[in-house]
Amino acid sequence: MAQINAQMVKELRDKTGAGMMDCKKALGDSDGDIEKAIKHLREAGIASAAKKSGRATSEGLIYSYIHPGDKLGVLVEINCETDFVARTDDFQSFAKDICMQIAATDPRVVTREEVTEELIASEKDVYRNIALKEGKPEKIVEKIIEGKMDKFFSEACLMEQPFVKDTDKTISELVTDKVGTLGENIKIRRFVRFRLGE
């Protein structure tokens, strides 16, 4: 059994933002291996995020971001469980990342559930007509539409977009990681993106 000291706990806390006792336990379970402990904390965070997803998020903040040049701005409301967490640097930094994501990618909605049935039907019609005009056989047209709709959702829905700072991760996965780190349920509630003249 590796000897766990305060320096190791501090290093793990600095790297993950997890609580002191969680770091100490992860290091103990990982025999003092920092990399294994990080993996352990991430996995535990994902599991605990799933448990926390039903908890009420009545606190949080409205964060504003103005892109250099003053021609593009974003307001986003992000909710969490306590005012204490909403005031942390980690939560504020997360809010800024979300604003910058919205500024860069111009999503239409937060989640897939917010896309109207009319818009979905309209998009499917467009993809169907394009596929048929290209002479694609009827039996594969539905598969083509399915693939195009997945791409549409990954562009239109903030939670399904690849994170601009780490494209291997979606915004949904970023939120899950943050729930694990901060220990509270987090929800991106709504946003507005302003571009000068639009």
Q: Are 72 and 126 in contact (CB under 8 A)?
A: no
Rounded to two decimals, the pTM is 0.68
- 153-164: per-residue pLDDT in tens? 999 999 999 999
Strands ordered across the beta sheet of 72-80: 59-66, 72-80, 187-195
List, in order of start, the domains of the chain with CATH numbers.
6-52 (1.10.8.10), 59-110+157-195 (3.30.479.20), 116-156 (1.10.286)
Task: Give the confidence band of 36 by pLDDT, cuts at 50, 70, 90.
Answer: confident
- 68-116: per-residue pLDDT in tens? 999 999 999 999 988 898 999 999 999 999 999 999 999 999 999 999 9
